[in-house]
Structure 1
């Protein structure tokens, strides 16, 4: 008889490039997103939720570093001849589809914000995941530079609202047409989409790769530390110099920066349009009180996505943190966006101006933790302990009494035989208090409330006098339970 093969147990591990978020992580993220959403609402933006799945055709070919529409996304085909579907890779492409689909029912301009997970089928690495959260705000239906300026001001407000101090961040603004003008001066044909795409993505990595790495990508190509080779744009040394000239045009003085950019784009009409737009946006922001200490023109900002057609922006955190090896490093970008006037046109055939910005939720939350600005973990629920199995309905009623008063509470549902394990459970839950009622307390209509937070404080080296002056466990009438627990939580 052939031996029976044992069924292999599944491995209890998160797939590569993905991660789990437990209670405290989810709570912190929700608190931060609530603060950001309040800023967006104050500016008149409405919330929008879209499907996590779109057709590959609707998503389009705009993902960086890919050559085919369904490369870089998690895609599958519906049957042998059905549509290709994919998980959304950002929140902007779905917005274009929604606006085209519902444009007769939406106001123009349409201002919306959206928050949720996106997925990219890319090579994972340190801090680079295949699923991550985004938080977007977009205005569709106006070409006014005031819409671009508003987004820059709004992301500045959002960063300060969540706890990033002024001086610890910089919102940087450029215009894609300025780079197009520089590429025109460099002699890169407008119809050479491959070379122009490589140039865009290369300059977008300037802060990470430095000028040497970018030059390699502009030229023959670059081999990274793992040995992977990325083909370059094949530009000559003179062409590389012309492209890089505009990235070094920035400075503290906006007027001087604009002057150098005009020199970099030469006679290019497209480049001149971009410089003019930057000048208007800068004037609007100055009028609102958003000076260079908050928002500044920076020619090195290009953004990697291919659908941007005008102004582009990026929010960068300027303070230093330590990497995994204890070395100081600048935290870097936490938000980016720009104008994408051709995205809706793919669906309608008509030009629809649009502009938006996307905030990297996970990176911003990591920054807040690094600065000690993340919200403190919320206390766990009050735990109603179980002394007698037969009295479970009464324990459930105590829990319901607390919840009816708006107090987070639960009844212990494990094995009640060992009371010490119940208190250990409450400690692991971060519970502020435990409610205890044996048959004697039940007969007298009272409960014992154990202040677990105070008990932990007293256990950390309290003197005998301190022990005597603080009661970590108090007997209260059942009718006074809610008031006592409220006072305990307030303290």
Structure 2
């Protein structure tokens, strides 16, 4: 009787989760470090909250809370309490502030970066685990604090290498939407949430998709059906026109339908007349006006931000100004078609989140960006890429009995500012050189018996070698001249490697 075969699980990845390679992780780390320096400069303190929170502490604010586990990944602890992986950094911050309220200086200014998890339907560009980087001010009421967060978002855009004109912070106020919902006769809280979540999908689904979600419902490409908000045709028209133009309903001035870009003050003046009989609308317009004044004093001009009523933000806890950071710069696919990046971050005011725990009103506002999406966009634009990495050098193990010497050479390179390793995998020179090429090393360092006896070090410029190899026509001449290889004295080899690295555009 044959022995039972051992169980071997299939190597597979869960849908909506991704493996991130070294180059991606370095780009993300660079982005987080850059943003963190900005946050530090502006007086924010770092904080790290745990991955799990009690489910009731997180609350039900997700755009897709109708999905299983209400949009979160949850498990029951051994004491019968439900724990959930955090879906953002804001809800855990509210819990932290409530738990430590008496000991915190107010306003409390903190930043945090880390993974978040959402039990949502995955799709292109939509993952169930991703990295967010946040900055928040808790305990600061009024538009000045919101203006500072918008200015902070704009400063992060600059710090990561974007020029003014390559990004735009689009600003709205949830109270404007509340006022339009009142005009549309939408007063049921559950219906309001459906409407906000539908409007927040405008950039992804377009007008027709949003109209379906505001009306009877929408069936997506997979066949899944989402029940709509059930609004009347007239209400749907009012809402879609409002978000398509900054004041684009027919009752507004033709300023917004002329094809010319109105100034922020023009938009506010037009909306002031339209919302003259709405308390919420008037409060929102006054707040955005104060934000405009503060941003002007901070030197954040209209080329960096603008009023945009299409900004909704899908999370249910926002209570005032909301905003999104959009990339205007474009890159291109291999076929020449432009890559449109869209929103890479956003935030807003959420004055009621801490009061869920304390019953005491605590004003708060914040900004967050999706690290993976933002880093991918910057890499496509050539702003965060290989140039941000320290160059890698491989020390070839030419002689089996010289491992200690090769390890010492790699340590010397690291002390000089390189990433470096002594090859430890075994195998002949050809195998090791292929390894160095595949790792993207700028150079390979070789000390064989001949070099060791003569006090020399051979350095192969792998990047130059690859370029020249594509142009060669005579293999014999290539072997004799070795144009991408130099041999130097053993007391000058590190500087020679530095010269090779700089020739390839690296600063080290």
Measure, in 2, the Cα distance between the counterparts of 1:319 and 1:490.
Answer: 29
Match of 1:357 among 367, 371, 389: 367
Greater Cα shift, 359-368 or 448-457: 448-457
Confirm whether residue 90 of structure 1 aligns to residue 91 of structure 2: no
Q: 1:381 — aligned with what?
A: 392
Corresponding residue for residue 430 of structure 2 = 420
How is 1:15-34 mapped onto 2 (pairs within 5 angstroms)? 15-34=14-33
Say if 2:24 is the partner of 1:38: no
What aligned pairs does 1:108-257 form with structure 2 within 5 A after superposition? 108-189=106-187, 192-244=188-240, 246-247=242-243, 248=245, 249=247, 251=256, 252-257=262-267
2:286 pairs with one of 266, 269, 276? 276
Does the 8 A contact of 1:74 with 1:120 survive in 2?
yes
Q: CA deviation at 1:218?
A: 2.0
| Contact 2:390/2:417 (8 A) holds in 1 | no
Q: What SS class does the counterpart of residue 411 from structure 2 fall into?
A: helix
RMSD between aligned alpha carbons? 2.8
What per-residue deviation string (whole Å, max 9, x for no partner) do you get for residues 280-309 of structure 1?
112222233323221111112111110000
**Equivalent residue number for residue 338 of structure 1:** 348
CA contact (8 A) 2:395 2:420 kept: yes
CA distance in 1, matches of 2:297, 2:390: 44
Q: Distance in 2 between matches of 1:475 and 1:216?
A: 70
Q: Which digits, 9 at most, give the CA deviation of each residue in 1:353-385, with x for residues without a partner?
A: 100111122222232233333332536532121
Contact 2:345 2:369 survives alignment (8 Å): yes
The SS at the match of 2:102 is coil
Distance 1:212 1:149 in 2: 33
What displacement does 1:68 show? Answer: 8.0
Write the deviation string for residues 409-459 of structure 1: whole angstroms up to 9, x where unpaired: 21111123x211111111111222222222343344433233333333433
- More displaced stretch, 471-480 vs 59-68: 471-480
Report the Cα offset of residue 140 of structure 1: 0.9
Structure 1 distance, partners of 2:454, 2:203, is: 71
Structure 1 CA distance for aligned equivalents of residues 151 and 266 of structure 2: 22
Q: CA deviation at 1:229?
A: 1.6
Aligned partner of 1:393 in structure 2 is 404
Q: TM-score, normalised by structure 1?
A: 0.90
* Distance in 2 between residues matched to 1:320 and 1:384, nearest whole Å: 40
Contact (CA 8 Å) 2:23, 2:385: kept in 1 or not? no
Shift of 1:194: 0.6
Q: 1:307-337 CA deviation, whole Å, 9 max, x = no partner? A: 0000000112235566899765643111111
Q: After superposition, where does 1:441-460 map in structure 2 within 5 Å?
A: 441-460=451-470
Contact 2:171 2:307 in 1 (8 A): yes
Q: 97, 100, 105: which one pairs with 1:99?
A: 97
Task: Identify which range, 309-318 or 385-394, moves more after superposition.
Answer: 385-394
Residue 97 (structure 1) shift: 1.6
CA distance, structure 2, for counterparts of residue 326 and residue 463 of structure 1: 31
User: 3-state SS of the aligned residue for 2:286?
Assistant: helix
Unmatched 5+ residue regions in structure 2?
249-255, 257-261, 504-508
Per-residue CA distance 1:58-111 (angstroms, 9 max, x = gap): 2111111214894211110012x4221111111111111222223333321122
- Matched residue, 2:487: 475
**CA–CA separation in structure 1 for the residues paired with 2:380 and 2:502:** 28
Query: Offset at 1:352?
Result: 0.9
1:48 aligns with 2:47: yes
Q: Which segment is superposed worse, 173-182 or 394-403? A: 394-403
2:420 is the counterpart of 1:409? yes
Distance in 1, matches of 2:466 and 2:202, equals 50
* Offset from partner CA, 1:179-234 (integer Å, 9 cap, x none): 11222232222xx2111101111111223333333232222222223222211222
Segments of structure 1 that go 5 or more residues without pairing to the other structure are: none
When the two structures are aligned, how many residues end up with a matched partner?
486
Tell me, what secondary structure is at the counterpart of 2:341?
Answer: strand
| In 1, Cα distance between equivalents of 2:364 and 2:46 | 17
